């Protein structure tokens, strides 16, 4: 952060605080323009209270019951649980493992709503049986046949050699059996097999997904695979309903096409390239949607999210069946420095909203690591395009939560941010105390920002991890406690992470006076933001087109309405490097939509459980001017009208 020499001058925003023009066109970037300031919405407090989620990641197993108890106690309402197709037993396809059952039981016990990830990771893609067979003759890499001691029970097109070069079950399939010699779907990868080698093999219950123009396509095989997928969806739905009740869970289809998705690509098992538009030709989303529609007794109230586009900006509501109620995104903030990491695509938008195709000036600063990176346009793939309430375009496809219109009816399709989080070690923060503080600031910014800007749910990554300096939401001390105890501590205060403290206090303020039936909210406007300090996040070149990146431009004002006359408004400076703490600084705000003359206005620091100074300069019938102090994490402006 920098500071300009003049301290006495009143410094104002370069333009309006809210302007739809800030949502720049696709393939343009900007250091000065914030697309999240293209719209302002006062959200009902329930959007925040019911949208707080976390990914349930369990390796070495702490007590699931204890972890879920702590998550629920301190404000979490949602957990994301992967129940892969490969969990189902081969014989009947009807049972899941004990870990999944324990998670569903804990969700029911503590009132947590699971987002159940339906996935077919290539490591364990579908019901299967595993076994080993001995290689009788040394087989070199690149060979297309292997001699085995026994070929009984092998199934052509479904049996194969696993985990040869990575975590892929049946990485090479068997395409023919001649006595004890099997023919392979592609040349043997890796280092080959020595004679006497005990090869890991599996038989899949279903052939990998294929498209009609794919290599080795067989319509009967594909019909069976799709029917198996539908049966899997029904099985998980019935199991979840049994533990949670009908409609008390949501479902996500797939996880990150760039990761573990070979089972969607039968040609790749044969070493063949994929035809163009491969994934769009697979009807898994529409088939899953139809399955849910056909079984309302199980799935009414269940939001179905399409996760195929988790890692791309291109999937849009208009491309989804009406039964799909959300689109998924994973948008982890990167660590970047400029100008070294500057994308150069079609052009840069300067502070005057002018497009500069030649990039005449790129500021020098960094590293940055900011929770709301996906809400900026530092790269063209901003989440703002999927969050905003008005139509906008990525190439020729319309985006926006209200963009799906069928027969004149708007079928809203909001964003599920099903993975996002802050990892302190990514930016060199490894001290446990500092790392915990870092996550408290960063993850609280993520939740308040994205839930206010339109996300229907945000799932932090992750409940547990590799230490306080990693992603984990729960403190490492409590994870260690839960590894060896089965009873929740009578006094949990030594184990509560700063993140859980700040979250619990924000939840408490949102619940105070809550009207759970409130849906129509009052529009709160920001007519101006000014300061006298002129602090900035990066230096410009002194021109109006490329000014300093002032803190007032990065000021976030995120209103939630509690009842007809109570508002809780998180606000903070969207700093670009969370590892560099911001000394709290003052801003003057002019707000509209507030009955200022009959309002009590206070400010609260939920991290330190402390009152923050706020001065009312002018209070009118429908407006108020305030001097507030802002930090680099959410303070809460609390407005109670009488």
Q: Which of 204, 230, 247 is the last residue of a domain?
A: 204
pLDDT digits (tens, 9 = 90+) for 334-366: 999 999 999 999 999 999 999 999 999 999 999
From the list 507, 640, 621, 449, the residue with the least C-alpha distance to 563 is: 640
Which pLDDT score, from 0 to 100, does residue 8 have? Answer: 66
Q: Is 182 helix (H, G, I), strand (E, B) or coil?
A: strand
Q: Where are the beta strands (DSSP E) in 372-490?
A: 392-394, 397-399, 405-406, 409-410, 415-420, 457-460
Which pLDDT score, from 0 to 100, does residue 280 have? Answer: 80
Which pLDDT score, from 0 to 100, does residue 278 have? Answer: 85
Is residue 505 in a domain? no
pLDDT of 4 over the 60 cut: no
pLDDT of 3 over the 70 cut: no
Which pLDDT score, from 0 to 100, does residue 6 have? Answer: 46
Q: Determine which helix (DSSP H) or strand (DSSP E) holds 624, and give its type and residue range.
A: strand 623-630
Is residue 481 in a domain? no
pLDDT digits (tens, 9 = 90+) for 101-113: 999 999 999 999 9
Structure tokens at 49: 């209270």
Whole domain around residue 151: which residue ranges? 128-204
pLDDT of 367 over the 80 cut: yes
**Contact assessment for residue 372 and residue 400, using Cβ atoms and an 8 Å cutoff:** no
Q: How many CA atoms lie within 13 A of 79 on its CB side?
A: 28
Residues 143 and 25 in one domain: no
Q: Would you place residue 58 in the very low, low, confident or very high pLDDT band (cuts 50, 70, 90)?
A: low
Is residue 465 in a domain? no
Residues 33 and 133 in one domain: no
Q: Determine which helix (DSSP H) or strand (DSSP E) holds 128, and give its type and residue range.
A: strand 128-134
Is residue 322 in a domain? no
Average pLDDT, integer, range 324-342? 97
pLDDT of 59 over the 80 cut: no
The single residue listed with the structure tokens 């099985």 is: 235
Q: Determine which helix (DSSP H) or strand (DSSP E) holds 505, and give its type and residue range.
A: helix 498-511
pLDDT digits (tens, 9 = 90+) for 576-595: 999 999 999 999 999 999 99
Is residue 132 in a domain? yes
535 forms beta bridges with: 3
Q: Which of 179, 204, 229 is the last residue of a domain?
A: 204
Which pLDDT score, from 0 to 100, does residue 268 have? Answer: 95
What span, in angstroms and rounded, lies between the C-alpha atoms of 111 and 73? Answer: 10
pLDDT digits (tens, 9 = 90+) for 370-408: 999 999 999 999 999 999 999 999 999 999 999 999 999
Residues 530 and 631 in one domain: yes
Which pLDDT score, from 0 to 100, does residue 305 have? Answer: 98
**Contact assessment for residue 444 and residue 499, using Cβ atoms and an 8 Å cutoff:** yes
pLDDT of 188 over the 60 cut: yes
Q: CA angle, corner 52, sides to 388 and 462, nearest 5?
A: 110
What span, in angstroms and rounded, lies between the C-alpha atoms of 142 and 187? Answer: 4
What span, in angstroms and rounded, lies between the C-alpha atoms of 66 and 160? Answer: 41
Is residue 157 in a domain? yes
Structure tokens at 230: 């539908």
Which pLDDT score, from 0 to 100, does residue 490 have? Answer: 97
Q: Would you place residue 57 in the very low, low, confident or very high pLDDT band (cuts 50, 70, 90)?
A: confident
pLDDT of 28 over the 70 cut: yes
pLDDT digits (tens, 9 = 90+) for 440-484: 999 999 999 999 999 999 999 999 988 999 999 999 999 999 999
Q: Would you place residue 5 in the very low, low, confident or very high pLDDT band (cuts 50, 70, 90)?
A: very low
Q: Which of 204, 223, 245 is the last residue of a domain?
A: 204
pLDDT digits (tens, 9 = 90+) for 165-177: 999 999 999 999 9
Is residue 87 in a domain? no
Residue 173: which CATH number?
Answer: 2.40.30
Average pLDDT, integer, range 203-227? 96
Number of separate domains in the chain: 2
pLDDT of 134 over the 70 cut: yes
pLDDT digits (tens, 9 = 90+) for 514-565: 999 999 999 999 999 999 999 999 999 999 999 999 999 999 999 999 999 9
pTM for this entry: 0.96
pLDDT of 7 over the 70 cut: no
Residues 636 and 526 in one domain: yes
pLDDT digits (tens, 9 = 90+) for 263-307: 999 999 999 998 888 888 799 999 999 999 999 999 999 999 999
Which pLDDT score, from 0 to 100, does residue 537 have? Answer: 98
- Residue 23 buriedness (CB in 10 A; 0-12 / 13-18 / 19+): buried
User: Is the CA virtual torsion 146, 149, 153, 159 positive or negative?
Assistant: negative
131 forms beta bridges with: 201
Average pLDDT, integer, range 63-71? 95
Which pLDDT score, from 0 to 100, does residue 316 have? Answer: 96
User: How much of the chain, in percent, has pLDDT values that exceed 70?
Assistant: 98
Is residue 299 in a domain? no
Which pLDDT score, from 0 to 100, does residue 281 have? Answer: 79
């Amino acid at each position: 952060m920098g500071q300009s020499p003049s301290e006495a001058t009143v410094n104002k925003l370069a333009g309006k605080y809210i302007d739809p023009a800030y949502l720049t066109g696709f393939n343009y970037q900007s250091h000065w323009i914030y697309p999240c300031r293209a719209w302002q919405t006062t959200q009902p407090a329930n959007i925040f209270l019911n949208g707080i989620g976390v990914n349930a990641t369990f390796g070495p197993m702490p007590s699931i019951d204890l972890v879920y108890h702590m998550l629920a106690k301190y404000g979490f309402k949602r957990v994301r649980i992967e129940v892969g197709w490969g969990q189902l037993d081969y014989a009947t396809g009807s049972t899941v493992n004990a870990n999944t059952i324990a998670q569903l039981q804990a969700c029911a016990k503590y009132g947590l709503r699971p987002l159940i990830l339906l996935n077919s990771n290539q490591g364990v893609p579908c019901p299967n049986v595993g076994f080993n067979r001995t290689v009788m003759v040394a087989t070199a890499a690149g060979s297309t046949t292997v001699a085995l001691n026994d070929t009984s029970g092998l199934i052509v097109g479904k049996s194969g050699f696993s985990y040869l070069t990575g975590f892929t079950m049946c990485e090479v399939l068997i395409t023919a059996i001649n006595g004890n010699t099997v023919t392979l779907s592609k040349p043997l990868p890796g280092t080959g097999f020595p004679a006497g080698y005990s090869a890991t093999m599996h038989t899949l219950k279903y052939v990998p997904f294929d498209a009609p123009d794919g290599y080795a396509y067989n319509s009967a095989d594909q019909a069976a695979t799709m029917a198996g997928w539908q049966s899997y969806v029904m099985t998980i739905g019935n199991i979840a309903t049994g533990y949670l009740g009908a409609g008390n869970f949501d479902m996500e289809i797939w996880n990150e096409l760039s990761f573990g998705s070979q089972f969607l690509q039968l040609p790749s098992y044969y070493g063949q390239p994929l035809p163009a538009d491969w994934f769009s030709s697979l009807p898994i989303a529409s088939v899953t949607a139809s399955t849910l529609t056909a079984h309302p007794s199980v799935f009414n109230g269940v939001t179905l999210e399409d996760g195929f586009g988790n890692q791309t900006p291109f999937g849009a509501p208009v491309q989804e069946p009406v039964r799909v109620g959300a689109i998924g995104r994973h948008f982890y903030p990167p660590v970047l420095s400029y100008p070294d990491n500057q994308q150069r695509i079609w052009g840069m938008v300067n502070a005057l909203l002018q497009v500069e195709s030649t990039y005449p000036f790129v500021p020098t600063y960094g590293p940055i690591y900011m929770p709301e990176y996906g809400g900026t346009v530092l790269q063209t793939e901003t989440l703002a395009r999927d969050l905003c309430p008005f139509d906008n375009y990525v190439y020729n496809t319309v985006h926006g939560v209200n963009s799906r219109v069928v027969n004149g009816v708007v079928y809203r399709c909001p964003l599920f941010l099903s993975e996002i989080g802050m990892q302190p070690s990514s930016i060199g923060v490894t001290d446990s105390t500092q790392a915990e503080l870092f996550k408290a600031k960063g993850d609280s910014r993520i939740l308040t920002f994205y839930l206010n800007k339109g996300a229907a749910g945000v799932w932090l990554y992750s409940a547990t991890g590799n230490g306080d300096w990693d992603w984990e939401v729960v403190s490492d001390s409590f994870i260690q406690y839960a590894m060896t105890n089965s009873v929740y501590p009578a006094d949990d205060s030594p184990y509560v992470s700063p993140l859980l403290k700040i979250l619990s206090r924000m939840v408490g303020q949102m619940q105070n006076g809550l009207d759970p039936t409130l849906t129509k909210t009052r529009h709160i406007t920001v007519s101006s933001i000014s300061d006298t300090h002129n602090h900035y996040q990066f230096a410009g070149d002194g021109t109006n087109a490329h000014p300093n990146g002032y803190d007032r431009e990065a000021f976030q004002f995120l209103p939630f309405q509690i009842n007809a006359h109570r508002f809780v408004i998180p606000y903070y400076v969207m700093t670009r490097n969370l590892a560099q703490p911001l000394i709290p600084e003052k801003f003057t705000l002019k707000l509209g939509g507030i009955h200022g003359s009959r309002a009590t206005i206070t400010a609260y620091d939920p991290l330190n459980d402390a009152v923050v100074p706020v001065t009312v300069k002018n209070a009118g019938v429908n407006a108020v001017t305030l001097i507030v102090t802002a930090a680099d994490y959410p303070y809460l402006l609390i407005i109670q009208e009488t």
